[in-house]
Every structure is written in structure tokens, then in C-alpha cells.
Amino acid sequence: MKSPIQQIQLETTSQIEQYLRQSEGMWHSQRRYYTLPDGKTQEWTSRLTVRFLEQGSPELIKLAQLHHLGDRNILVCGSYVEWESTQSASNRPNSEGSTIFGVLGDILYRDRGFATKDPINAKYYLPNPDTLCLRTEYNSSVFEEEIKHIGTKYRTRQSIISRAGEQQMIGQYLEKRIQ
């Protein structure tokens, strides 16, 4: 018989696995960043490719090693995400890259952060099966995100970046599945 804590962990793992599988595919992302307090905006479009990672995949083993986790097969699942982004004003490619996410308990391990190439981790929870909430802290900044699936073809994202207790930027995204 499983203890209540083991049962909650099992349910959480099942929920995050389902959420990450639902995210797999190619996405067209339109996003707008608002710099606070002046309200300056930047608009970007991106093409995202998301691939689900099974426990024991080479990417998750590498991620566990980056985070110095004792057991290299400990991450239960994850995602590999590639992107190519263009700032709308210039219409030239400005950013491309990839990142790896791996799950262990209520922690989402990453090989890099939004504003750093160093490995980071985030606390996560799912208030419902279609919504993932993240809180990441590093370099005196806090990144809070909500990513919500709207049916099978759309998802919305909102990011709030704070430093020293003050909100610095808000990002809002609409993502449409293209494959």
C-alpha cells in the first residue's frame, strides 16, 4: 500500500508527464514583452519544436549530470525544446537555440535559464491538467510563468520577471500548434 505522500507524488508525476506529452509538436508563438514601469513593448514570433523525453533518454541523463544528481536515470520525464525567434520590428532572426527540461518530484530541472546559460531549476505545480505554473529564481531575479493548453491546438503563456521585489517585465504569448 502506498503512503499518502507517495500517492500524491505518483499523481503529480502522471499529471506532468501527460502535460508534457500534450505539449509535444511544432508551435508558432507570437509574444509581446512589456518593460515596466515605462511600458515599452517588444514583439517576437518564434517557431518551437517540442519533443517529449522518456526516463533514461540521453538528454535527461546529460541533464542529471549537469545538476550533479547522484542517479543519472533519476529524472522521470522531460522535454527537449528548440526555437528560432524573430523580433517583429526587424523581421530578422535574432535568437535560436534549445533547452532541456527534466522532472523530479515538484522540481523542473533545466540545462539553462531565460537569462543565463547555467543549469537552473524551477518549482512547478499544475492547478489543473491543462495548466503548468513555474517559479524560477536566480541572479536576484524571480521568473513566474503560467502555460495553459487551450484545447489541442492552442496554448497561452504569461511570464512575469521581477528583481528585488519589483516587476520588471511581463511577457504574454499565444502559441498555435502547426504540427
Domain ranges of the chain: 4-177
| pTM for the model | 0.87
pLDDT tens-place string over residues 69-101: 999 999 999 999 999 998 887 766 678 899 999
- What the block records as the C-alpha cell of 167 is 516587476
Q: How many Cβ atoms sit within 10 Å of the Cβ of residue 100?
A: 22
Q: Is the pLDDT of residue 151 over 60?
A: yes
Q: How distant is the alpha carbon of residue 17 from its chain centre?
A: 13
- What are the Cα distances from residue 30, in Å, to 42, 46, 85, 166? 11, 7, 10, 25
Q: How many Cβ atoms sit within 10 Å of the Cβ of residue 169?
A: 17
| Residue 155 pLDDT | 97
Q: Is the pLDDT of residue 156 over 90?
A: yes
In whole angstroms, what is the distance from residue 119 CA to residue 67 CA? Answer: 7
pLDDT tens-place string over residues 4-51: 333 334 455 789 999 999 999 999 999 999 999 888 999 999 999 999
Select 4-177's CATH number: 3.40.50.150, 2.40.128.20, 3.10.20.30, 2.30.30.240.
2.40.128.20
| Residue 9 pLDDT | 43
Report whether 60 contacts 75 (CB < 8 A).
Answer: yes
pLDDT tens-place string over residues 116-133: 888 999 999 999 999 999
Instruction: Give Cβ neighbours of residue 96 (< 8 Å, ≥ 6 apart).
Output: 82, 83, 84, 85
Nearest to 62 by CA among 102, 24, 26: 102
Q: How many Cβ atoms sit within 10 Å of the Cβ of residue 155?
A: 22
Nearest to 87 by CA among 170, 31, 36, 35: 31
| Residue 1 pLDDT | 42
